[in-house]
Amino acid sequence: MAINLYDYAHTAADRGWGSGWPRCSGGSDLATVTADRSGTRVSVRKGLSVLVDTLLDWTERPDGGNYLLKPGQCGGYNCRPIAGTRTPSNHSWAVAVDLNWNDNPYTSTGRHTIPTQVAAVWKHYGFAWGGDYKGARKDWMHFEFMGTPADAVEKSRLALTHLAAPGGAQPSPPAGGALARGSSGPVVAAMQARLNRDYPAYSTLTVDGAFGAATEAVVREFQRRAGLAEDGVAGPATLAALHLA
Ligand SMILES: [Zn+2]
């Protein structure tokens, strides 16, 4: 389903992310992601980690958003209400991030440094921007995901395809390398997303870039059905069969 970026009538709980403040169920489902260029780290839901990681890396890349993040001025998960209220903040579900809060304060002055292309790309991948708030005060630093966990899988796949590498190339597996239990990173995430997209009858993996038992089971099932050696290791033959090699 299409994501409505301006549907503030529904909460992240309505969209399937569990409970927010004061019972922050997402607190036990977190991943820390790192923006490559600055090393800035934020914690978000595991199901959003590939998408946020890809967006943060793109935001900083000179051929992307070219907007450098500042460690210590960015955040994700925070189990709290919206300041001065008893309404849960989207940060309490770990589906929101704040970028460079000293430069992009919650203010009615219009002062901020978020480039137009950065706001546009985050919005394209399902994040509402606080700079679009209707009221006089804008939350310039704030981006929150407005989709469901299933939307996050789809947006992760699109972001990996279109944003992950310079020129929009698909991330390619390590030359001669194989992915196996314990492997991690964007290539594993691309494989998980590809399995979910093409084989939804038996692949409903979390696209988190971590090759664990669930991913291994799906790889085995894929290999069995494809007539490949059923070893649970995604080597060159398996990756080629998935059109990832
Ligand atoms: Zn925020």
Ligand 1 centroid from CA 139, angstroms: 7
- Of 19, 8, 33, 48, whose CA–CA distance to 148 is shortest? 48
C-alpha of residue 172 to centroid of ligand 1, in Å = 34
Distance (Å) of CA 113 to CA 20, 54, 101: 29, 20, 10
What's residue 1's pLDDT?
61
Determine the CATH number of domain 186-241.
Answer: 1.10.101.10
Indicate whether 170 pLDDT > 50: no
pLDDT one-digit tens code per residue, 55-97: 999 999 887 888 999 999 999 999 999 988 999 999 999 999 9
Percent of the chain exceeding pLDDT 90 equals 64
This prediction's pTM? 0.69
Sign (positive/negative) of CA torsion 35, 198, 228, 218?
Answer: positive
CA-wise closest residue to 82 among 118, 34, 30, 135? 135
Gap from CA of 83 to ligand 1 centroid (Å): 10
CA of 91 to the centre of ligand 1 (A): 6
Task: Give residue 127 CA to ligand 1 midpoint distance, Å.
Answer: 12
Band (190; pLDDT cuts 50, 70, 90): confident
Residue 162 has pLDDT above 90, yes or no: no
Residue 165 confidence class, pLDDT cut points 50, 70, 90: low
For the chain, domain boundaries:
27-162, 186-241
120 CA to middle of ligand 1, Å?
Answer: 17
Question: Per-residue pLDDT tens for 116-141?
Answer: 888 988 998 999 999 999 999 999 99
